[in-house]
Amino acid sequence: MAVIGFIGLGNMGGPMAANLVKAGHQVVGYDLVPAAIEAAEAAGVTIGASPAAIAAAAEVVVTMLPGGKHVLGVYGEIAPVARPGTLLIDCSTIDVDSARKAHAQAAEYGAASLDAPVSGGVGGASAGTLTFMAGGEAGAFEQARPILEAMGKKIVHCGGAGAGQAAKICNNMILGISMIGVCEAFVLAEKLGLSHQALFDVSSTSSGQCWSLTSYCPVPGPVPASPANRDYQPGFAAALMLKDLKLAQEAAQGAGAPTPLGAAAAQLYAMMNAQGQGGTDFSGIIRMLRGEG
């Protein structure tokens, strides 16, 4: 069992670190927020004095932080003190450029590194059923696999540095666009006098079929577990969808990829957030499309 540093013990990082403890690892954590530290301690995580102190003692350091600037800041502290061969795994969702810079920072000091963002949300983090999308060298991936398996169910090696982040934002751009498409279809059906169930019965077995419809249906009824049945409590908050769509737009602009629907989806989620609905599940965008307040 390994000594694992864990930096960023928030909504996702806290339960992920707890699962590493349950798997028998010695986990030394760090966060800036006292409540996150207390919850992690209660789950069996030892708290370290600083990111540098943790990295100097750990074989593996996992980061789960809000954005690219936080990750690069922490990597600036941990990469110089990490022992050669230490593995740095960043599970945060960040922009591809920052992810590649983080890999370069690690390599400069002889540390192996992986970008390994996740999908599955807080529920998946608690249950240990996250999907990891990893980018980095094959050796780093194989070294990370048993650690990631303690926190997730599906682990995919997507390619070299930044490929995990690329997979995450491409997937979530599909999700944002498809959710809006499904919502628009339900709003049109309502205006045409077609019932939700009738549209669902046809489209869920026809060419309009997609995850946003069949697993996460944005109207109450057809899929009882979807957030629409609990007044759009998240689930996956609209603010996080906006974050991922903005990352996709940044990446598309940098790479010269035309993404007109991705841009429109980002604008619509920005509008939903501006209306004070950032904490609502992202499928709740149907209410904005209906013109409800």
Enzyme catalytic residues: 168
Contacts of 182 (CB under 8 A, 6+ apart): 208, 210, 212, 213, 217, 218
Strands 152-159, 130-135: pairing kind = parallel
In the complex, least distance from residue 118 CB atom to ligand NAD, rounded to whole angstroms: 5
Between 55 and 240, CB nearer to ligand NAD? 240
Q: Residue of minimal CB distance from ligand NAD?
A: 10
Between 141 and 236, CB nearer to ligand NAD? 236
For ligand NAD, which stretch binds (CB under 6 A), given 115-123, 131-139, 141-149, 273-281? 115-123
Between 122 and 127, CB nearer to ligand NAD? 122
Under the binding rule (CB under 6 A), the answer on residue 8 touching ligand NAD is yes
Under the binding rule (CB under 6 A), the answer on residue 81 touching ligand NAD is no
Under the binding rule (CB under 6 A), the answer on residue 151 touching ligand NAD is no
In the complex, least distance from residue 166 CB atom to ligand NAD, rounded to whole angstroms: 15
Under the binding rule (CB under 6 A), the answer on residue 247 touching ligand NAD is no
Which 227-246 residues touch ligand NAD, going by CB under 6 A?
A: 236, 240, 243
- Separation between Cα atoms, residue 125 and residue 123, nearest integer Å: 5
Which of 4, 7, 40, 245 is in the footprint of ligand NAD by CB under 6 A? Answer: 7
Under the binding rule (CB under 6 A), the answer on residue 259 touching ligand NAD is no
Contacts of 124 (CB under 8 A, 6+ apart): 118, 130, 131, 152
Under the binding rule (CB under 6 A), the answer on residue 173 touching ligand NAD is no
- Axis crossing angle, helix 238-255 with helix 163-192, rounded to the nearest 10: 120
Q: How many CA atoms lie less than 13 Å away from 220 in the CB half-sphere? A: 7
Q: Identify whether the C-beta of residue 15 lies closer than 8 Å to the C-beta of residue 36.
A: no
For ligand NAD, which stretch binds (CB under 6 A), given 24-32, 131-139, 195-203, 274-282? 24-32
Q: Identify whether the C-beta of residue 28 lies closer than 8 Å to the C-beta of residue 52.
A: no
Between 62 and 74, CB nearer to ligand NAD? 74
Which residues contact ligand NAD by CB under 6 A? 7-13, 30-33, 36, 64-66, 70, 73-74, 92-93, 118, 121-122, 236, 240, 243
